[in-house]
Structure formats: structure tokens, C-alpha cells
Structure 1
Amino acid sequence: MKIVFIGTYPPRECGIGVFTNDLFKSMVGQTAPSEGSLSSEAEDPVEGFVVAMSDHDLSYHYPEEVKFTIRQEHQLDYLKAVKFINLSGADICVLQHEFGIFGGQSGMYILPLLHRLQIPLIVTLHTVLKNPSYNEKAVMKQICKMAYKIVVMSNKAIDFLIEVYDIEHSKIVLIEHGVPEIVYNQEQCKKFFKLQNKKFLLTFGIISRNKGIETVIKALPKVIEKHPDVVYMILGKTHPNVLHNSGEEYRNFLQLLVKTLKLEEHVIFLNEFIDQKELFKYLSASDIYITPYHNEAQITSGTLSYAVGVGSAVLSTPYWHATELLAEGRGRLFDFNDSEGLSRILMELLDDPEALKSLRKKACDYGKTITWSKSGEKYLSLASATLSANPEVNSRLETLIDPLLLPAFSLDHIIRLTDDTGIIQHAKYGIPNLKEGYCLDDNARALLMVLMAYRESKDKSALNLAPIYLSYIHYMQNEDGTFRNFLSFSRQFLDEVGSEDSFGRAIWALGYLLGNPPNDAYFQTGKLVFFNAVPNFEKLQSIRAIANTILGISYYLKANPNDDAMIEKLKMLSEKLVAHFERNSTKDWKWFETKMTYDNGILPLSLLHAAEILNNEEVTKVAMESMDFLTGITLKEGYLSVIGNESWYKKGEKPSMYAQQPVDAMAMILMFQQAFQLTKDQTYLTKLFTCFMWFLGENDLRMSLFDFDTKGCCDGFDSYGINRNQGAESSLAYLISYLIVLQAFETYEEKDLKL
């Protein structure tokens, strides 16, 4: 068995790194019995290597077992790492997860790496939050979804995973934090540190304000009055993030408090990150170990486990891990920020050596059950069982969607964005941003969506919105048939003539209305606006405006196939697109321009519609070639990765991964639907489903853009993570795509198609 471990690693000064190192040493070099075998000959020798997380672009002199490093905020490093892992011969991956050690919002950069793993994944969770943020919860759920097994170190963590994150109990395994088997004599250690005549109190760990060390310092004056031989040591360096943002502000505060209380002879600050053997000498020398954290939200504490492991008498505030680990007399608890309560317990124990001795013995006895040799055995058994189960790692790339498992179709967010003028174009998170007003683009998309929804399910709430969007389009039309685009919230025109793209989107929606009229009144209004715009068709220069206009004409002609004048306009616009393709296309670049930008799928989509009506071989050829070229770029990894608008995709360069937009995913979905309509090739429906899953997390960041609370869709994602604003464009793109998926499933059922 060959194991790859991902986490921080020494010499980086990090508790997770110490854990990863201990876990590595407890597993690698051992033998893992084959599942179900009774023969020692069947034991599997364990090999392994480490992929180490480095912070702030720092370089470390890692030991030889570290074969690859990832710079925390460099996402390309994660993608290079997974390629290395997949080619390394590793059988299984063990990930140490803590939000702060991975890059991106809430550490989401680790998700693309995990998604591309071709071996089973076991995840150890060092933090499980009871009240996670939206991003923290989304990241955690994605990690747990991709993991075969999830290891936690407390029962409280199991409860949270089930209740907060909806994780199946069967995926979760409890393996307590391991403790090194380092044993020192207390008297010898005290003598070594010249503390043999002292009552030695200790707090160890990375220093930050949430550690609550001031609670102990404030408790000391009363204790020292009775026990003047008490010495309290604060052992550890300031947390690097705290140091980066606030310097030594907290340590200075503590030192000033010590001086104010005249405790200089009794409190020692040792500003070091010491090695494990040295730490255990201090722990063994201590009479009492104290963890005075400020609140309950700590699911795992390695320092607490170490203290119990060496048999310290431990006093702690009742945070989650302490409440569980110190139960049954293995330690004592005092309330958060309760210096008086801590004083009482300290004096009680220092006055009663037998009680102190009993506390130490119970901790020591329990510590023998959680040594790293025992924890390592449990991890090895879990890894062996995982490999024997032969989990389907490729299931991460499933593309067929069960419509019953999709979020319910909901217009809640669209209704929230809509008033009696039209749909507000932008939102701050899930709340309409009235400052940005309205635009023609989004009201056209909104009209298209509600007409599709009514056609699909005869949803009256959708139909009730249609006249709002249609009246906006009508209001924005100029006398010459062009359209204004932007309108302020106070209904002031913000432009004289809108973009050609907005013109094309309006024609698309109007054409769909004429082809699928819900009633005559809407049809007549739509017809009036549509034909007022017709004289402008031949003036269009923007290829996306041409494409959108082709879509509107095509929907109109499907219901009015004998309109020869409109057929001629369709031919004219199609020829313009084909001419763009022929000018820019080369052997290895089958596209309409020398770069791919936004809404790319609209271009092949429009020609696929035109081909259905015109039955023109050249139009069909260009439509198929451009679609195949786009597909090869955006679906090459088995999931949709649309061209990001951060820097687009210039011929001869690499596609931009950021910022990806929902409208691009929608265009791909519509394109594959029409490709199936034209060819009856069912593989296009499979690609359609794959593209829809982009919205629900099958994307480069492995994050869902659909907000299950607001029923809106986030505005895409960038290198830092999800753009949580939920504007009209994005939410409409999601809903239009959803409706196409429903239509696709109806096709599956009608034709009894199989993947």
C-alpha cells in the first residue's frame, strides 16, 4: 500500500503539521493486513510520501518524505500536485483538513485537487464548525462528498457533521487524536528545568486572543497568596496570522497585565515553537496543565490530547473537545472567563496532593489508549478496508441527473427582483440592488424564462410576470425600432441607444413569444415590437447580436414557416456569421474570432437553429465544427469549464479560468439541446446534463452557485471563490438551464434513451 498525505508539515510551525508528521510515522513503514486475511504473509508493506502546504510563499527545508509542495494561494500548484499524485503510484490519499491551511475563500482551492484525484480519499477534519458561513459549509460538504471516509476526533464532531452538514453516519469514523509515546519522569524534568521547588503550571500552544490566557493570569494573585511557590509558564509563539495582522499586540497585553498584577516573578513567557521531545519534557514537569479558551467552539485540541497523554492534571474551560476528553474524572472544568472559579480549583488541588495525584493517574491511564501506535493501526485498518471496498472514484464525474434530486424550481428570487417596472439587474447577495436600476438584456431574458416556464408547466405565477417584462421591452423601444438598454430605478433613461447585444436578446425573447404565445394579447404586443425592430436586422455588426437575432427569427419561423421575407433575413444573418467563421478559422482554430470571449455557445447555437430551418449544408457544417471546437476546450476534463472573462482565450494562448459566468453555462446547455434536436444524437443530451451540473458544483472550484436559501444563482466565480451576489442575469441563466434540463428528461422518457 502506498499512501499520499496532504497537509502542513515540519519544519513549518503548525499544529496540523505536527499531526501529519506523527500520522506519517505511525503508518509508513508498518504493515497493513489485507482485508479478511489471517496470514501474516498477506500483510501489505506501507509506503508513503507527503504533499506539503506552504504559507505566504515561504520556502522550507522539508525532509525527504516531502515529494511535492503547494503554495497556499497559488491555485495552479494544486492542479500540478494532483497530476503528480495521480502519476505517483499512490493507492490512497489521506488529507488533513483545516480551513486556514488552504487558499481561496474558506480554503476552497483544495476542491479542484480532490475532484481530480484518481485514488480513494480519506479526510481527517481538524475543525467542524457548528455555525459555518455559507462558503465554509459549501466547502465542507464538497470535501465530505468526495471523501470515501471522514475521520473526526470527537463525538461532538460526528453530531455536527450529521446535523449541520447532512453527512451520512456510515461515512464517519472516530479516531481520537494520537499521542506520542514519549515518557519522562516528572522529578527529573523538574530538576532539568530547575523547577524542583516550584508548583509548575503550564499553558502551551500557538498564542492568540481566543486562548484566554488572561483568565489564568487574573486567577494567580489569590493562588500565590497561599502558594507563593507557584510558577506559570506560557509556552508558544504568536499565531503567524495574528503576527501578520496585529503584531505582538496580545502578548504585549498579557505582559502588561502581569506587570500590573505584580506577577513578574511568577509568570514566564517562552516565545518558542519547540520540538515534540522538548514539549513533552515541559508537560511531564508540569503539576497542572491549563487550557483556558474563551468559547466552546473548539472541536479538537492537540495540546489537550498531549497533556492527557502524558498524565498531566488538566484544568480547562468547557469547550467541546475538553468536555468530552476530560469526562469521567480525567480532568476538571471551569467556566469561560471565570478567573475566580479557576483560583478555587487551583487552590483545592494544590492543597490536596492526593486529589492531584488521582487526577494525573486517570489521565495517564486514558492516555495509554490513544497513543500514536494505536491511532496509526486504526488509520491503517481504515485504509485497508477502503482499498478492499474498491470505491468508484470516477463517480465524481457522473453526468446523468435525477430530476427528483434537483432543487425545486422556484421563482422566489426572480419575484424578489421584480417590481412593476421590470426586473432589477443586480443584487447585493440575495437582495435587489436598486441603485443599479434595470436593463433590457435582463428583462428580455426574464420574458424568455417565464414563457418557457409557462410552456413547460402552465405555471400561472410565471405567466403573471410576463407582461411586466414585455411592457419594459416595449417602453425601451425607440421610434426607429432600436432599443434603449438602461433605466434608473427612478425611471430615467440612461442611454439613447443600447448595445447591439441587448437588441439581439430582445429579439430572441420576442421571437420566442411569437413562436409560443400564451395568449393573443401578448402575441399582438410582441408582434408589434418585433416587426418595428426588423429594419435594423441588416445593420447589425456584433456577432453575438447577430446570433441572438437569429435565435429570435428562428423561433418566429418555426411557427410561421411561410414568411419568405423573414427567411431571407435569416439567410442574410447566417451568412454573416459563416463569413466571420471562414475569415478566422484555421486548421487548429475553428472559431468566429481570433479569441473566445463571452456567451460563446450562442454562436454555434444560432447556426444550429438556422440549419434546422434553412437546411443549408454550409451553415450546418460551420455550426457543427464550431460546436465541436468549443466542446473540446470546455469539456475536456469531463465537466464544464467555461472561458473566464478575466482575460478570455486568445488564439495561441491558454484559456482564462476566471471569472466564469452563468450565461456561458446556459449557452452551452441550449447549444447541446439544439444539437440533439438537429441530429438526434443522444450524446448531446449527456453533455447537456454535464453542463447543467456546473451550476451545482461540477466546475473548476467544485462549488455550487445555486443558493438553496434564496433560490437565486451566484454571479459566477473568480480566483478568490464564489461571487455571492445574485443578479438577474445569473439567476435567469440558471432557471432557463433548469427548464432545458426538464425538457431533456422528457425526451429521455419519451424515446426510452439510455446512456
Structure 2
Amino acid sequence: MAFTYGFLSTHPPTQCGLATFNSALAAHLTGGGVFGGIVRVTAEGDDERPQPGVVHTWTPGGLGGWRAAATALESFDVAIVQHEYGIYPGRDGQDVLPLLRCLTVPSIVVLHTVLARPTPRQKALLEEIGAAADAIVTMTGTARDRLTAGYRVDTGKVFVIPHGAADHMRVPAQRRSRPHLLTWGLLGPGKGIEWALRALALLGGLDPPPIYTIAGKTHPKVLEHQGETYRDGLYELAARLGVSTAVRHDPVYRDQDSLSRLVRSADVVVLPYDSAEQVTSGVLIEAVAAGVPVVATSFPHAVELLSSGPGLLVPHGDPTELASAVRRVLTEPGLAGKLTGRTRGLIPTLLWPAVAARYDGLVRSLVAGRPAPAVAMLP
């Protein structure tokens, strides 16, 4: 028996982490003839043209609002809802709550953020979302622990399913003539790129000297409110530090094949994030799945995944420690292989087919617990 899947999220051509995640999960859950559809959430200025697989578009102030979106999801056996504060209409995205409450089909809410210090309103909203959902998915044990310790939720509803990753290993590693450091993802304040540039300036004496690629467009929200101020500041900082010729900006949003080639060309993925809140990082998962050593600041997901895995942790805002860790990976005999070798057995569990199978298993357990008349199965 196959179930039909409805997805509520931002979705391509919107360029954000949730859209990329939802697109990949939907593709792997609805392959092989399984039916599904996307209820796409858009913001002001998004491309509103019809997209394959999208059955309804929920726009701010659009006709029908959350009720029309809920009606579209009701035509499927299960609704999988991506949650991040602010992607849905209403203050803190509150309009997703009445939608969840009125669904009669089972619902799974996937939490991309669990704040350690939410506002009282954010805390109450997430608790009510958890109460309305049939299941809650976090992508790390850290997020689950933070959720169950800091919020009033039914712990029996909470499941940990990792963020999926593409099979980058199918692309042969293509090493460059100079050591290649890489950071990628949508760019904006908080990414900590300035610390990586300062660390690069401390890597003198390496022969040949490394090159550092900063890949990714400026985040659309940042671009809307601040323009390219952050990126321009990085250009200026690199010039002051004397490392401009070692820095390559690659401000494009890459497709999967192009991203795989880029990641597999790296000797070290550098994640110098400022945030101490980040319990889920898709870039971190993709780097681990690609078999590339990682040097990251001690944000929660990195602490969970790298402490005994394929990378080194450094303090936030410390370019000296960051440079020291990168230097170790590039020069210490056997260290890079030792780091990546620790997770060879883990990688298959992080790939999208395995992650989608876990969602499918969760869906089956939810549907099995529902009265038969509430389930419309495909033969």
C-alpha cells in the first residue's frame, strides 16, 4: 500500500534551506509512482509562476489564507509541515497553527529551529504547534533534548530523523593545485566569514598557500533589507588583511551536480558560524556525507556531530584557533583521513533514500493508529 504525501513549506524556486530540504524530501518520498503535492508558501517578491508538483500556493494576504492551504493538504493521506519562525503569515508565523488544528489527516511537523532562548510568544506558539501535530521531528538529538527540556511537549510525539544529504561520493574528489578551503550557503551576517578571513591571514608559511572559496548568493532576506553590505564588508576586510588574491567569491545558487563537484574539490570545509543556537545545519550534514574534513565553531549541531567524528571544533570568534585547526588538517600526516574515516559507516544513514525511508516508517505508524475511514490508500 502506498500513501499520498502533502508537503507544506517554502519550495523552489525560492532559494532557502527549507525550500531545498522540502524539495529533496518530497522527491524521495514520492518517487516510483507514489503521489504527492506541495503547498508552497511564498513571500513578497517570490516567483509565483506555476511549478511542477505544486498544488496550491499560500501567499501573504492571498485568497483563502491558511484555510485554502489546509483544504489542499486534506486531499492527501498525511501532511508534512516544515517549521521555521517567520516563513508563514502572521507574527512569528502564527497562521500555521490554525491550519494544523483543522487538519483531519495525520500531520508531521519538522522543526528546523528550536530556540534555547525564545520569546514568551515563540515558546507558547511552538508548544501549541506541538500539541496540534501528530508527530514532531527534530534533526538532531541536541534539538530533541532542547525541545523536551525547555518546552511543554508530549515527548512521545518527538522523533529524531537526520537532515538528508545528497550522494556526493559518486563524484570523484578533484583536488586542486593549492589547498582548497570552502564555505558555502546563503550569505549574510552571522555566517562568521570574517573570522575565516582573519584565520586565512594567519596561515602564512604554507606551501603552496591555500585558496578560500566563499560560495553562495546573499540570502534573499538580507539582500532585501541590507543589499550587499555584508559581502562588500568581506571584500574590504580581505583587502585590509592582504588576502584578496587567496579569496574567491562564487555568488551563485548551484544545482546538485555542480555543488557536489565543488564540495568534493575541498580539502577542508570551514563553518565559522557565530550562532550558538544552530541545532541543524544542512551544510554540515552535506560536508560530512561528502567525506570532507570539517573545521567548525562550536554551534550545537557541530558539537553533536563532530566531537567524535569527521572534524575539529573551535571556539566562536577565535581566528587563531580556527587557523590552527585548519593548519593541522592540511599538514598533520594522516589526520584528514583519520577524521573522515570515522564516519564511513554513518554516511549511508545520512543520504536522502535512508532519511526518506524513516519518514515513510513514521507515516505508516501514524496512519496505522488512525481509524480506517480516515485513511485513503492508493492500491
Query: What is the TM-score with the length of structure 2 in the denominator?
Result: 0.93
Q: Is the 8 A contact 1:148 1:391 kept in 2?
A: no
Aligned to 2:23: 21
State the alpha-carbon separation in 2 of the partners of residues 197 and 365 from structure 1: 30
State the alpha-carbon separation in 1 of the partners of residues 251 and 283 from structure 2: 16
The answer on 1:47 being equivalent to 2:49 is no
Amino acid at match of 1:59: D
Q: Is the 8 A contact 1:310 1:364 kept in 2?
A: no
Aligned to 1:91: 77
Change (3 A) 1:239 1:176: same
Aligned to 2:313: 333
Taking only the aligned residue pairs, the percentage that are identical comes to 31
Give runs of aligned pairs for residues 79-228 of structure 1, distance below 5 A: 79-86=67-74, 88=75, 90-182=76-168, 183-187=170-174, 190=175, 196-228=176-208
**Higher deviation after alignment, 136-145 or 334-343:** 136-145
Q: Is the 8 A contact 1:283 1:307 kept in 2?
A: yes
Change (3 A) 1:393 1:93: farther
Change (3 A) 1:94 1:391: farther
The answer on 1:300 being equivalent to 2:286 is no
Cα deviation code 1:239-273 (max 9, x no counterpart): 11111111111111111000111111100111111
State the alpha-carbon separation in 2 of the partners of residues 73 and 228 from structure 1: 56
State the alpha-carbon separation in 2 of the partners of residues 62 and 8 from structure 1: 14
Q: Is the 8 A contact 1:120 1:391 kept in 2?
A: no
| Match of residue 282, structure 1, among 262, 267, 271 | 262
- Secondary structure in 2 aligned to 1:210? coil
State the alpha-carbon separation in 1 of the partners of residues 302 and 225 from structure 2: 29
Q: Is the 8 A contact 1:185 1:284 kept in 2?
A: yes
State the alpha-carbon separation in 1 of the partners of residues 63 and 268 from structure 2: 44
User: Could you list the runs of 5+ residues in structure 2 that have no partner in the other structure?
Assistant: 375-379
State the alpha-carbon separation in 1 of the partners of residues 200 and 208 from structure 2: 10
Amino acid at match of 2:273: Y
Amino acid at match of 1:56: E
Aligned to 2:54: 66
Measured after TM superposition, the shift of residue 210 of structure 1 is 0.7
Change (3 A) 1:54 1:92: same
User: Could you list the runs of 5+ residues in structure 1 that have no partner in the other structure?
Assistant: 31-44, 191-195, 395-755
| Match of residue 296, structure 2, among 291, 296, 316 | 316
- Secondary structure in 2 aligned to 1:382? helix
Amino acid at match of 1:23: L
Change (3 A) 1:165 1:274: same
Change (3 A) 1:224 1:76: farther
- Secondary structure in 2 aligned to 1:101? coil
State the alpha-carbon separation in 2 of the partners of residues 393 and 214 from structure 1: 57
Amino acid at match of 1:272: V
More strand by share: 2
Give runs of aligned pairs for residues 336-351 of structure 1, distance below 5 A: 336-351=316-331
- Secondary structure in 1 aligned to 2:164? coil
State the alpha-carbon separation in 1 of the partners of residues 227 and 63 from structure 2: 28
Cα deviation code 1:620-669 (max 9, x no counterpart): xxxxxxxxxxxxxxxxxxxxxxxxxxxxxxxxxxxxxxxxxxxxxxxxxx
Measured after TM superposition, the shift of residue 112 of structure 1 is 1.9
Change (3 A) 1:278 1:60: farther
State the alpha-carbon separation in 2 of the partners of residues 94 and 386 from structure 1: 12
Cα deviation code 1:650-708 (max 9, x no counterpart): xxxxxxxxxxxxxxxxxxxxxxxxxxxxxxxxxxxxxxxxxxxxxxxxxxxxxxxxxxx
Change (3 A) 1:74 1:111: farther
Measured after TM superposition, the shift of residue 369 of structure 1 is 2.0
Cα deviation code 1:447-495 (max 9, x no counterpart): xxxxxxxxxxxxxxxxxxxxxxxxxxxxxxxxxxxxxxxxxxxxxxxxx
State the alpha-carbon separation in 2 of the partners of residues 250 and 299 from structure 1: 24
Displacement over 3 Å in runs of 4+: 60-63, 72-76, 391-394
State the alpha-carbon separation in 2 of the partners of residues 72 and 228 from structure 1: 52
Measured after TM superposition, the shift of residue 173 of structure 1 is 0.4
Change (3 A) 1:57 1:252: closer
Q: Is the 8 A contact 2:7 2:73 kept in 1?
A: no
State the alpha-carbon separation in 2 of the partners of residues 62 and 200 from structure 1: 39
Amino acid at match of 2:51: P
Measured after TM superposition, the shift of residue 229 of structure 1 is 2.7
State the alpha-carbon separation in 2 of the partners of residues 293 and 270 from structure 1: 19
Q: Is the 8 A contact 1:57 1:72 kept in 2?
A: no
State the alpha-carbon separation in 1 of the partners of residues 79 and 73 from structure 2: 9
Measured after TM superposition, the shift of residue 16 of structure 1 is 0.7
Q: Is the 8 A contact 1:224 1:230 kept in 2?
A: no
Aligned to 1:709: none
Q: Is the 8 A contact 1:308 1:364 kept in 2?
A: no
State the alpha-carbon separation in 2 of the partners of residues 255 and 115 from structure 1: 48
Amino acid at match of 1:137: K
Larger radius of gyration: 1
Q: Is the 8 A contact 2:114 2:146 kept in 1?
A: yes
Measured after TM superposition, the shift of residue 167 of structure 1 is 1.0
Amino acid at match of 1:287: D
Give runs of aligned pairs for residues 288-437 of structure 1, distance below 5 A: 288-390=268-370
Larger relative contact order (C-alpha < 8 A, sep ≥ 6)?
2
Measured after TM superposition, the shift of residue 181 of structure 1 is 2.0
State the alpha-carbon separation in 2 of the partners of residues 333 and 393 from structure 1: 52
Q: Is the 8 A contact 2:200 2:323 kept in 1?
A: yes
Measured after TM superposition, the shift of residue 310 of structure 1 is 0.7
Measured after TM superposition, the shift of residue 391 of structure 1 is 7.0
Aligned-residue CA RMSD in angstroms?
1.9
Give runs of aligned pairs for residues 489-638 of structure 1, distance below 5 A: none
State the alpha-carbon separation in 1 of the partners of residues 271 and 50 from structure 2: 31
Amino acid at match of 2:140: S
Q: Is the 8 A contact 1:107 1:139 kept in 2?
A: no
Q: Is the 8 A contact 1:212 1:294 kept in 2?
A: yes
Change (3 A) 1:17 1:391: farther
